[in-house]
Amino acid sequence: MTNGRIVLFSAIALAGLLLLGSALPDWATFLLIIAFSKGLAALGLVVLLRSGLLSFGQGLFYCVGAYGAGLLMLWGGVNDAIVLVFAGGFAALIVGLITALLLAGYRKIFFATLTLALSMLVYGALTKADILGGSDGLNLHPAKFVGWQASATGSAVYAMYAIASVLGVGSACLMRIHFGSVRGLLSLGVKDNEIRVEYLGASARRVIFENFAVAAFLAGIGGALNALALGHIDPELAFWTTSGEFVFVAILAGQASVAAVFAASFLLELVRSFSSQYFPNVWQMMLGIFMLTIILFLPNGLGALLQRRPRDKAVEGKAR
Amino acid sequence: MTAILDVRNLNKTFGAITAADDISLAINSGERVGLIGTNGAGKTTFVNLVTGYIRADSGSIVLRGEDITGRSPRQITCAGVCRSFQIPQLFLNMTTEENLIVALGIPTGKAMSPCASARAPDLRAALEDLLTRFQLDEVRHRVVSELPGGVRKLLDIAVSVTREPVLLLLDEPTSGVAADQKFVLMDIVMGALPDEVTVLFVEHVMDIVSRYSTRVLAFYDGRIISDGQPHAVLSDPRVKSYITGTPD
């Protein structure tokens, strides 16, 4: 697919989502905002997975993004949702760049456990930091939208949904273009064979460093969205179970499609919400059954459903 | 002729084993040099030392007047030395075309630009040229892990020349290839390379060495025991005794 077509499809998808949001009840719109915010963090994880690395600490950047936006609102007096979301993204990016310097040289289980350790370190520090609300966290004010303060709950939810949709679709579009670029292929090359990458004159470490920073930025934006939608930030955002959720979404989605990442995130939120409502005592078990079903029947994730079969691709190749 | 590679007193030991024993040589621009020797003679170690895969204990490696001793593989590649491997080092889960696009995108800087399209016209033109020169067009859409060994060897070499090296080192380009295909492969490779590229190749088949090299270096026990034109080296009594095993 050419870049122009990707942008066109993204614009159509965005228009559809904005229309859909205006027709949905508030609870469903809210669910979609959370799905977008977690989908952004999971998309960052997919960027890393494409270079062969699995992070169990993506929650760290999700949390930094949320706290970055929240503290700028509470301490800095900034109320604009768009500014706060990007501030969260940049806060996570700065932390991401510093951590990337430390972690870009590690691979496989060492990378995974170090990212997990760093996120738990931040979680521990936040629970003890009374100035940041300790383990209870902090409540946020309702945000403004380009100077406009929503008077009704529904309007505020829709405005936040619109921002989440633009950021979600925009990021998906950019990442889709990137995955199809030479640089995107180079990431897959790093995953496949670092020796060849180095003997072609490229730096595998630099590729991983940059991918890590992108993943942190996306998670930061997601965290900030989550904070503004919920109106609350707490250390749980950096807890390992949050990172585990992102891993779950990334596995559920697979690496074949960026749209599948958001679809997987929404599906997870849906299953979680309905399971906790109708099976309040066994909803974690329902989630486990759901995950097992996906791994057994769709080992390449939801994205595999959107991909053409290899045989079709081969036939197309011969036809060319 | 100008010396493109100047190696002086190169030494490398692995524990008690001496893999490079005071090797000194100069390779001239445009030469096609065959490296021969029994297993463990030091041929691949020499290739690995020149390309930075392993570091020398002592000695110097100078490329076009620039000291590249101790540099990383990436720095040496950027300086103009490229290589293929005895076991092809490719991106196994990508197609032939994708392997070449990544390789072509790195020297042009496209591989580090976040959105540079893999369909850029200049990239496609270079890709088509490589696919034609190395006769890989039929397998362009096939995933590398599904390709036969000989095709992988060809692709490994094609990938290594995308940077337009001044010195190309091929580590056993015909190993693992069916006997009747070895000459076919070498014909394609040598035909695809520009004349100005200096080539060093490690080879065990003496007929290939005779046909495709202008100079032969015979390795034994980490040392070069004979250096000269193919017929002179292959008829050297020491080479016959230690390497080829052919009677006088």
ipTM: 0.92
For A163-206, the pLDDT digits (tens) are 999 999 999 999 999 998 999 999 999 999 999 999 999 999 99
| Strand, coil or helix: B141 | coil
Residue in B closest to A204 by C-alpha: B74
What does the alpha-carbon distance between residue B51 and residue B49 come to, in Å, rounded to a whole number?
6
Average per-residue pLDDT in chain A?
89
Contact between A199 and B89 using a beta-carbon 8 Å cutoff: yes
Q: Mean pLDDT throughout A76-85?
A: 93
Q: Residue A314 has what pLDDT?
A: 44
Q: Residue B159 has what pLDDT?
A: 95
A252 pLDDT band (50/70/90 cuts)?
Answer: confident
Q: Which of residues 106-135 of B touch A (CB under 8 A)?
A: 106-107, 110-119, 123
| Strand, coil or helix: A144 | strand
Q: pLDDT 10s per residue in chain B (248 long)?
A: 678 999 999 999 999 899 999 999 999 999 999 999 998 899 999 999 999 999 999 999 999 999 999 999 999 999 999 999 999 999 999 999 999 999 999 988 887 888 788 888 899 999 999 999 999 999 999 999 999 989 999 999 999 999 999 999 999 999 888 888 899 999 999 999 988 899 999 999 999 999 999 999 999 999 999 999 999 999 989 888 888 877 65
- pLDDT greater than 50 at residue A235: yes
Predicted TM-score (pTM) of the model is 0.89
Q: Which of residues 135-194 of B touch A (CB under 8 A)?
A: 140-142, 159-160, 162-163
Percent pLDDT > 70 in chain A is 94
Percent pLDDT > 90 in chain A is 65
Q: Which of residues 38-77 of B touch A (CB under 8 A)?
A: 51, 72-74, 77
Q: Residue A133 has what pLDDT?
A: 86
Q: Residues B198-210, buried b or exposed e (16+ Cβ, 10 A)?
A: bbbbbbbbbebbe
**Sheet containing B58-63, strands listed edge to edge, beginning at the edge strand earlier in sequence:** B17-28, B3-14, B58-63, B66-67
Q: Which of A182, A197, A320 is the best substitution to test chain B (most B C-beta atoms within 10 A)? A: A182
Pairing assessment for the beta strands B3-14 and B17-28 based on DSSP bridges: antiparallel
Residues of A in contact with B136 (CB under 8 A): none
Taking the alpha carbons at both ends of chain B, their separation in whole angstroms is 33
Q: Mean pLDDT throughout A211-236?
A: 95
A319 pLDDT band (50/70/90 cuts)?
Answer: very low
